[in-house]
Structure 1
């Protein structure tokens, strides 16, 4: 089990930056820095992550004992951990997963993940909407409060998240990606996906046909050929 060491701060620019600095100074696995608000929060592909007080913002240092080439699969490890924590808070809600690492409640995004590499480890940034969610975003959003749980605390969600992350981290290291992949696919929203690729204005469409061994999305195209997608945004389901 990971010995989590939680540092709580009122405000910071970015919890990911704080954990990266600690990692580069030799900090061991298990450091968690959480802030009530961030002034320079960011998400995937350099997007701004609005971070007002009332939501969960935390970054975690992991040092996986698997080949570095397999580290990208940790986005699925983290997504499953968030899934478990959100399900604990919303046990009756329809919760699904969206490639590459989004957690959806009733089709709306409730969390964000930013994973960055440091020497010998991963800095895992996690945001979960507890009270607030952005009205304007690339994908419709929601929060735990909006979905019916106004009583849950940030601390309780963090505790559940770390319990789940500890478990999935161990599963990934001892049982491999296949177990993680199968569980992720069991919770993933299926069907025809509309995917926007970097540098392309027009999204492509294809039937979700699983994940490969590196976590790339497999789309079955109209010509019955499979296409691997390594980077992109799923804009919707048809």
Structure 2
């Protein structure tokens, strides 16, 4: 079983450039071995540094490799993306990854998939001893103490839309005291909340195992998933503003409907938002 997917499908780790500064190693070879032995991931595509794990997932899908669940993992992401034009900031100690897999989910299920991934992250972090409750900020963020702890970006690879590229960034040991000033009031890291660092590989294994369990629930345990989304919804009963791209919807959030849409009570009635960005809440 190949754990690294390189041009010659050989090396597990990419050798750092001689010009690159020396970095602390966050994932040893033994850690990478554990990922394929302890989770449903069949291959690990590891990079000490990369521009974007989601971009790499698109590349792998375009090359039709490989077939099983692939974890694209990095210690340093230089051009991480969020929804739209947003960028993901991550210092050393964050978990930054993309899971490429064939779920068989139709495109109409993507709002549910995004919330389900967020739910899995919440549950995994609580299992690791993170403060509870973790909350979901529709459509793709995990919040703790009203600040962003994790971001999720789900994409359909254009070359193979049967697969999902599930990008996840989690602030674990990257203390926000090192973040840009504008982020310190809106984001948070596990180590800042708990007062101690967490073993990154253990956190990653917990996330992957909960993710497998929850993704398998879509379509067969939908009522349970919907209850969980609604219980953790950060926006329920708040006055919100949602940017839909071509227009903006404002009103009081009435929760999440069965399809995963955010329901906004407006002066003209209830409006479900299936995609968009919450700009005010």
TM class by smaller structure: 0.7 to 0.9
Conserved 8 A contact 1:103-1:111: yes
Output one character per residue of 1:80-124: Cα deviation in whole Å (capped at 9) or x when no partner.
Answer: 111112212344434211111211111111011111102111101
2:272 pairs with one of 211, 215, 228? 228
Secondary structure of 1:231's aligned partner: coil
Whether 1:110 and 2:149 are equivalent positions in the alignment is yes
Q: Distance in 1 between matches of 2:44 and 2:132?
A: 29
How many residue pairs are counted as aligned between the two chains?
234
1:148 pairs with one of 194, 201, 208? 194
2:209 aligns with: 163
Whether 1:132 and 2:163 are equivalent positions in the alignment is no
Conserved 8 A contact 1:108-1:142: yes
Conserved 8 A contact 2:140-2:153: no
Secondary structure of 2:165's aligned partner: strand
Output one character per residue of 1:38-97: Cα deviation in whole Å (capped at 9) or x when no partner.
Answer: 111111112121232220000001211233332342101110111112212344434211
Displacement after TM superposition at 1:210 (Å): 2.8
2:30 aligns with: none
1:182 aligns with: 227
Q: Distance in 1 between matches of 2:185 and 2:156?
A: 26
- CA shift in 2, pair 1:149/1:74, >3 Å: farther
2:117 aligns with: 78
Displacement after TM superposition at 1:5 (Å): 2.4
Displacement after TM superposition at 1:199 (Å): 5.0
**How large is the RMSD of aligned CA atoms in angstroms?**
2.5
The alignment's TM-score, normalised by the length of structure 1, stands at 0.87
Tell me, which stretches of 5 or more residues in structure 2 are unaligned?
1-38
- CA shift in 2, pair 1:199/1:76, >3 Å: closer
1:88 aligns with: 127
Tell me, which stretches of 5 or more residues in structure 1 are unaligned?
none
1:6 aligns with: 44
Whether 1:40 and 2:79 are equivalent positions in the alignment is yes
Conserved 8 A contact 2:149-2:189: yes
Whether 1:212 and 2:251 are equivalent positions in the alignment is no
Secondary structure of 1:58's aligned partner: strand
1:16 aligns with: 54
Displacement after TM superposition at 1:137 (Å): 4.2
- CA shift in 2, pair 1:49/1:183, >3 Å: same
The alignment's TM-score, normalised by the length of structure 2, stands at 0.75
Larger-Rg structure: 2
Secondary structure of 2:198's aligned partner: coil
Output one character per residue of 1:165-222: Cα deviation in whole Å (capped at 9) or x when no partner.
Answer: 01001111433x443222111121232232231458977231x223234311111235
Conserved 8 A contact 2:50-2:74: yes
